[in-house]
Chains A and B, each alone.
Chain A
């Protein structure tokens, strides 16, 4: 079974803190994604990566950065957390390189609260 794990299920941080969310997949997938999920807005893509050290912006990259130094690991970084970044963050992975027409496997999510 494909497994996508995220470092924390729940996280509470203060405004201005630097926050790292980690995601690891064990199926040698080329693509990895970070989404945030908010009520009424569904899943919105923040960044995705189709290879090590490669990244592309999604719809809402402002206030976020990412890092992919190893194929299995994709990190989301909030340089200076703000209250409007309180949300559920979901990581996903899929086969396919730059072809994104493949099934995505999602992690359990990290619920981040910024106070």
Chain B
């Protein structure tokens, strides 16, 4: 069963924050985050390999709670360029969530 992402979609104004969650019913050994802009290929954001690990990319950061089998992606002070669909990918078995569509408006 693929990871479950929430919310399915979020609309933000520039400068606002958002959190995207990714949870799995199976053990997570690592979590990948990707962003796909409309009409383009998915682009890698970050990998989290250890429980409790946190990473950052621009003003986008993520955490990984291995015990809870979940990861969260934090969009801080969102910019127009953050618009796109965000996917989490779980490894152990290669699976992606269905995606969270993020729209940042001026």
**Residues of A that sit less than 8 Å from B by CB:** 4, 33, 35, 40-45, 48, 58-59, 90, 100-109
Contact = CB atoms under 8 A, between A and B. Distances in A.
B41 A107 contact: yes
A42 to B, nearest CB: 4
Given A106-B41, A109-B41, A42 B87 contact: yes
Interface of B: 2, 5, 29-30, 32, 34, 40-44, 47, 49, 87, 89, 91, 94-99
Nearest to A56: B94
Nearest to B98: A42
A103 B87 contact: no
A41 B96 CA distance: 9
Given A104-B32, A104-B44, A42 B99 contact: yes
A43 B87 contact: yes
B47 A42 contact: no
Nearest to B93: A59
A4 B96 CA distance: 20
Contact of A105 (B44, B91, B95, B99): B44
A90 B2 contact: no
Given A43-B87, A101-B30, A104-B32, A90 B94 contact: no
Residue of A4, A41, A42, A90 with most chain B CB atoms under a 10 A cut-off: A42
B98 A41 contact: yes
A12 B41 CA distance: 20
Given A101-B30, A101-B49, A104-B32, A45 B94 contact: yes
A106 B30 contact: no
